[in-house]
A and B are shown apart, each in its own frame.
Chain A
Amino acid sequence: MKSPPSLRPGELAFALLLLGFSLAAFYEAYQISGFTGLTTGGAMPMTAAAVMIVSGLFIVKDTLARRGGPAPSLRETAAFLVPPRLLIFTALLIAYAAAIPWAGFVAASSGFLLISIMLLWRRGPWWAAGVTLIAMAAIYLIFRLGFQVVLPMGTLWR
């Protein structure tokens, strides 16, 4: 098992966030059946949440122990965690997911592929369009006709 040499930007905040999430998960698990019995539906979720809390505490402790040097600025944390390319791509991803029920799988995927390949590949719109066309044709042939997956049509075309 290898240990990272130094703390990553935002690692302590993330560890605390996970600990908070574990505590919330324990509360939610407690809501299922409380401490009413050893074989209730809530017993295993509560055990799992307890393991998350204990390991979460260890993660926070390890993170604190690895702390050294000045704390990274918000800008450094953002550059490490969400570089501009990732931010744009994630925004595209969300837009893609939102567009599927409305525009249908084929149109939404074509749009997503075209824009993201154009942004990431930087070979010009014609290359991106060509690749998108080939990829979509292959996906349609393999999945719609081969695997017989019923792809979402989209409300726009009804």
Chain B
Amino acid sequence: MMEAAGYFATSWIDPHLLGLTALGTLAGVYIGAIPGLSVTMAASILISFTFKWDVNAALALIAGVYVGGVYGGARSAILLNIPGAPSAIATALDGYPLAQKGLAGEAIGLSTVMSVLGGLVGVLALAVAAPLISEIAIKFTSREYMLLGIIGILLVGTLSGESFAKGAFMGALGVMIGMVGLDPMTAETRFTYGSINLMGGIPFVVAMIGLFGVAEALIQLERIDKTPIKQAVSKIIPRWRDVRRYLGVGLRASGIGAIIGALPGTGGDIAALLAYDDAKRSTRKPETPFGEGAKEGLIAPEAANNAAVGGAFVPMLTLGVPGDAVTAIIIGALFIHGLKPGPLLLVETPHLFWFIVGNLTLANLFLLLFGLTGVRVFSKIVECPKAVLMPLIIVLSAVGAYAIQNNPIHIYWTLGFGIAGYFLKKYGFQVGPVILGVILGPMIDANYRRAMIGARQEPGQFFLDLLTHPISLMLTIALLLMLLAQTPVLKWFGDLLYRKRRTE
């Protein structure tokens, strides 16, 4: 216990780590707030610069950016009616009407306090749930890991974008990209076409910077001329009375956020929308109707999206399956540092787990500090024209791609991914599943082959194993239900049951 407390406090007492966490959180608030810049984009660029650092320092910076960024989106949602990040879409629904009423300062103050509350609930959920899940996950075999990987990719495909087919296509495309290079089991070449550059595979950071950084910058080019309308900001420290009054809504939304965040593939954006919906249903008599400046409608998504941060770390640290796009990047950072997120992480490197818990807590406290100060400077920076920002993102993406292995070819690949990502985004494809595919593809491949070898290469035995082992069976059922949900079968079955009950 004392040992864990010591690990927890690592970033609190080391001035270097303390400074990096503060810097990351501060930068995150601005990155999240500036429309067009996203946390995923920033984290993917940052990872390429920090991989030479000590793992704690790299994690402190990236976790700070993550926590700050998820919150930062709320500020531009309230002030400009432009959600700076997808997780702040629900925040704008009531945050902006509040600002129009001259209550921008109050809205920012309240959203900050509730974001911190949500963030801390999320961290608590991580500290409690992760060791429990790890204990179960330690019994997982390669079959279960294979199933988890497939479920992770499919969940992202199902929940984002226009159709399941598009999500599945992107996930499979990601798996294909992840297969490029030497096969780790047989040293056979796969899709290398005789190129030495392709032998080592395509670094997923290159794909990530291209798809999230360059592609987004190209998409944003269309919206370059739009000038946001800014609201005046007055008093920012919220009233104690308000905090106490809305504490229940905040806690409830935090719970939703932590659970949704913990599901592989779902992040702050979905958590925020669900919490908003829940607050709308559960608030019987709001002071102001929802959509016109209800404080409950501002608090719920803000508490939920920050709670989802802690939640997203749960599957990543215990199962090695990222909870969302940013944790997918952090998982990459851990791999680069030679660490293997999974059930053994808590046993082999407990210091890392408690360091992350302590660091996320610290980042939330910094968030409280930065969230309640510096609004004037903030509104100036947020107004930074996109005409300047977009070329800058391209240059940063180029440095980021180059810095991974000091290989200029990676700059071309990044730009190639960026241009391909642009066309895909234009036609309603989400790039999230590709990244998950690139990261989880090799894991699925290795575990599938191990499981198949374990079944003596007999498909019948392989499928029987999926159905006769309790954990495998549960995951197989979950996977089948996910697939069935995309077909009319479940609806047809539901209708049949309903009709039968009515005739009885």
Contacts and interface: CB of A to CB of B under 8 A. Distances in A.
Interface stretch (B103-111, B403-411, B470-478): B403-411
Interface string A38-53: 1111111100110110
Interface size class of B (residues with CB under 8 A): 35 or more
A44 B398 contact: no
Contacts of A71: none
Grouping DSSP codes into helix (H, G, I), strand (E, B) and loop, the A interface class, with mixed when no group exceeds half, is: helix
B290 interface: no
Contacts of B171: 51
Interface string B419-449: 1001100111000000001000100110011
A79 to B, nearest CB: 11
Interface string B390-415: 11101110110011001010011001
Contacts, number: 175
A77 B392 CA distance: 29
A45 B426 contact: no
Contacts of B412: 97
B183 interface: yes
Interface in A113-149: 113, 116-117, 120-122, 131, 135, 139, 143, 147-149
Contacts of B422: 86
A85 B391 CA distance: 13
Interface of A: 1-4, 8, 11, 14-15, 18, 22, 25, 28-29, 32-33, 37-45, 48-49, 51-52, 54-56, 58-59, 62, 80-81, 83, 85-86, 89-90, 93-94, 96-97, 100-101, 105, 109, 112-113, 116-117, 120-122, 131, 135, 139, 143, 147-152
17 contacts: A1-B163, A4-B162, A8-B427, A33-B188, A38-B457, A40-B188, A45-B176, A48-B175, A48-B441, A49-B176, A55-B166, A62-B165, A85-B222, A89-B218, A120-B390, A121-B387, A149-B403
Given A112-B395, A120-B221, A135-B395, 20 more contacts: A3-B163, A8-B426, A8-B428, A11-B427, A39-B449, A41-B183, A42-B190, A44-B441, A45-B175, A48-B179, A55-B165, A93-B214, A93-B394, A96-B394, A100-B398, A100-B408, A116-B390, A120-B388, A147-B50, A148-B52
